[in-house]
């Protein structure tokens, strides 16, 4: 027996009982399908390239390899950024110039030309969208990334397939075996029962959770768009096949798997069909499968929910599920504070996150490819008499530039007047006022807008976890209104912030005094500082401090001899942080200024990273 086969068998045995128990809990006595799954895992392991196994070994010896202060991510659309996969490979120098060592390529598998939800409607999990390249090119890109120490993240859209997927086509042709892989109903009886308890994801752009197929006179479950058919994980064949698909992708050299829309994967009548215990069974099984077959691979769960729903996806210390999750509430709360200039709710949100175990790794971000949903702690806001519906209206009015004095330019997403629950789209630069100031040619406003944008990035980089930049934000890319003219996209305002990367603007990062240069250099400087001081690592002790000013957020990070006092002014006026860290001199890492952490004057949208590195 080869050495690596021996390792495999040991791992397999270690997890066998738990794995089997989890599987049988979902699929009682399905020894046949369980055996098939185990065989497939073994097969995937045998197929795994030696170079990837070597990476697995290195990472297994240092299981916290992705933690700490070194990892910096960027998410991008392959076509928007560089046309295709080869284009991305040719642009890796730029990515490295951005200090990035982890790239999330937005969905790139084959999907229909029109109905594709930005690639989240996959029609073939084993084929790259021919417009973007081939599987071989993906493999080559992964290899090149690995040479440069860059990790590659890809989506695994497991909740649904496109209606053009082979299974969906065969189901439509009446093949029962394939209909059983989805949720099909002859009449509205059961669908209408589901509708009583299942909320809607896209209430305006795709209302309802079922779609009537007139050609075959059946209903099919479609939680997202009508062309995204929900997979039926109560059928073990679906789980097995989908695991086969993800392992196939992983073996191309993918380091991080983003499990798309994971809370939705298990459905049960009479429930919300969100976050059901069976979902956790499946995620835990996926973790076990990775530990056995490809221990260097990380799972990133996409759980865009309230904190009490997010955290369980980390699992427990003994039985972990995802390695990483999005810090979504912090992201939305940050934008809330940009509008209100009041950081108290953000301080409270940070206190919650900072009290979680340090092994819980969050992805921190200002913007992503989706909308901003106003999932704030409304119970907390209630103490100030702030109500959910009116506050959401205020935030949306502010960020679409309707509110008096607002500098932002965004657009509503899934505006549902009956619930008063619209969400929001827009790029970071446009939401910070850069777009408006340039358009109206207001120089002073532009300076504030740039400063706000930099401050927000600084704040993101101060949080424990992995910061992820949205491609284009590093050069202040603005909203792209072109989608209004595209009949297939114009209902979906998320395309507002999914515009083509503007390489002409990127060039201007080298021109002193340009908006791009100011942003690019400032953000880059902050990123480099973060990567140079271990106090930014996730093993630091982190807590907020009282600044006696509701516009200034104060954060302390402690690690070994290093203490960092970070201050952020969320208002457009100069203010003072009434802090009293009476322990001597600090150096502001950004300006090099020596200062005391006492009654610190902080300019409009200012940021300080004050470090003391001789702690007892």
Question: Which residues are near ligand GLC by CB under 6 A?
Answer: 117-118, 120, 157, 224, 260-261, 302, 369-370
Rg of the chain on CA atoms, in Å = 24
- CA 459, CA 523: separation in Å to the nearest integer? 11
- CA 74, CA 501: separation in Å to the nearest integer? 13
Minimum CB separation from ligand GLC for residue 558, in Å? 35
- CA 98, CA 279: separation in Å to the nearest integer? 36
Is residue 183 within 8 A of residue 220, CB to CB? The reply is yes
Nearer to ligand GLC, 105 or 602 (CB): 105
Nearer to ligand GLC, 163 or 572 (CB): 163
Minimum CB separation from ligand GLC for residue 109, in Å? 12
Nearer to ligand GLC, 295 or 375 (CB): 375
- CA 343, CA 346: separation in Å to the nearest integer? 5
Question: In the sheet that 184-185 helps form, which strands lie side by side, from edge to edge?
Answer: 184-185, 218-221, 210-213
Which residues are paired to 298 by β-bridges? 256
**Which helix or strand (DSSP H or E) is residue 451 part of?**
helix 443-462
- CA 244, CA 271: separation in Å to the nearest integer? 29
Is residue 296 within 8 A of residue 58, CB to CB? The reply is yes
Minimum CB separation from ligand GLC for residue 456, in Å? 21
Q: Which residue is nearest to ligand GLC (CB)?
A: 120
3-state secondary structure of 311: helix
Q: Which tokens go with 291?
A: 């530990």
Q: Which residues contact 45 (CB under 8 A, 6 or more apart)?
A: 8, 292, 293, 294
Which of these is catalytic: 260, 411, 435, 474?
A: 260
Q: Any catalytic annotation for residue 541?
A: no
Minimum CB separation from ligand GLC for residue 140, in Å? 26
Nearer to ligand GLC, 416 or 588 (CB): 416
Nearer to ligand GLC, 261 or 449 (CB): 261
Which whole-number Å values give the CA distances from 138 to 250, 280, 458, 553, 569, in the listed order?
11, 30, 33, 42, 43
Q: Any catalytic annotation for residue 474?
A: no
Of 387, 515, 403, 519, nearest to 454 by C-alpha is 519
Q: Scan for tokens 């809370």, then name that residue.
A: 263
Minimum CB separation from ligand GLC for residue 300, in Å? 12
Nearer to ligand GLC, 492 or 562 (CB): 492
Minimum CB separation from ligand GLC for residue 333, in Å? 19
Active site residues: 260, 302
């Amino acid at each position: 027996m080869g050495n690596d086969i021996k390792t495999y068998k040991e791992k397999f045995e270690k997890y066998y009982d738990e794995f089997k128990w989890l599987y049988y809990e979902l699929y009682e006595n399905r020894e046949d399908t369980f055996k098939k799954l185990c065989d497939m895992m073994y097969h995937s392991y045998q197929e795994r390239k030696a170079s990837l196994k070597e990476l697995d070994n290195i990472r297994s010896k240092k299981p916290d390899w992705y933690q700490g202060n070194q990892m910096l991510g960027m998410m991008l659309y392959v076509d928007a950024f560089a046309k295709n996969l080869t284009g991305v490979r040719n642009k890796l120098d730029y990515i490295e110039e951005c200090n990035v060592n982890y790239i999330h390529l937005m969905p790139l598998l084959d999907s229909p030309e029109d109905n594709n939800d930005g690639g989240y409607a996959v029609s073939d999990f084993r084929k790259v969208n021919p417009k973007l390249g081939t599987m071989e090119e993906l493999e080559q890109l992964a290899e090149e990334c690995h040479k440069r120490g860059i990790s590659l993240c890809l989506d695994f859209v497991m909740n649904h397939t496109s209606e053009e997927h082979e299974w969906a086509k065969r189901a439509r042709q009446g093949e029962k075996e394939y209909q059983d892989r989805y949720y099909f109903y002859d009449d509205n009886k059961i669908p209408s029962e589901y509708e009583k308890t299942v909320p809607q994801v896209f209430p305006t752009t795709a209302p309802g959770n079922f779609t009537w197929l007139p050609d075959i006179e059946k209903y099919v479950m479609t939680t997202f768009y009508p062309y995204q058919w929900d997979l039926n994980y109560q059928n073990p064949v679906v789980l097995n096949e989908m695991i086969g698909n993800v392992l196939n992708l992983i073996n191309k050299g993918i380091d991080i798997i983003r499990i798309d829309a994971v809370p939705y994967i298990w459905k049960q009548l009479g429930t919300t069909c969100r976050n059901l215990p069976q979902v956790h069974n499946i995620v835990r099984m996926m973790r076990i499968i990775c530990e056995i077959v490809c221990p260097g691979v990380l799972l990133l769960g996409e759980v865009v929910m309230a904190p009490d729903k997010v955290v369980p996806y980390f699992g427990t210390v003994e039985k972990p599920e995802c390695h990483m999750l999005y810090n979504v509430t912090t992201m939305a709360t940050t934008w809330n504070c940009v509008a209100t200039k009041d950081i108290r709710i953000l301080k409270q949100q940070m206190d919650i996150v900072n009290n979680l175990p340090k092994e819980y790794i969050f992805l921190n971000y200002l913007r992503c490819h989706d909308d901003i949903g106003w999932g704030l702690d409304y119970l907390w806001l209630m103490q100030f008499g702030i109500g959910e519906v009116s506050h959401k209206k205020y935030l949306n009015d502010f960020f679409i530039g309707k509110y008096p004095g607002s500098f932002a330019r965004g657009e509503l997403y899934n505006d549902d007047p009956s619930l008063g629950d619209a969400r929001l789209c827009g790029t970071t630069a446009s939401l910070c006022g850069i777009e408006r100031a340039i358009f109206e040619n207001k120089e002073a406003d532009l300076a504030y807008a740039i400063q706000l944008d930099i401050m927000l990035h600084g704040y993101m980089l101060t949080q424990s976890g992995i910061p992820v930049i949205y491609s284009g934000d590093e050069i202040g890319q603005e909203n792209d209104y072109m989608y209004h003219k595209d009949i297939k996209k114009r209902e979906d305002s998320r395309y507002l912030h999914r515009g083509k990367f503007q390489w002409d603007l990127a060039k201007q990062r080298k021109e002193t005094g340009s908006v791009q240069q100011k942003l690019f250099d400032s953000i880059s400087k902050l990123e480099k500082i973060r990567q140079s001081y271990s106090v930014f690592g996730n093993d630091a002790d982190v807590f907020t401090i009282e600044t006696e000013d509701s516009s200034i957020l104060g954060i302390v990070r402690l690690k070994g001899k290093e203490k960092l006092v970070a201050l952020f002014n969320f208002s457009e006026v100069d203010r003072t942080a009434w802090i009293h860290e009476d322990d001597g001199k600090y150096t502001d890492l950004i300006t090099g200024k020596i200062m005391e952490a006492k009654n610190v004057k902080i300019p409009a949208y200012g940021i300080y990273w004050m470090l003391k590195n001789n702690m007892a």
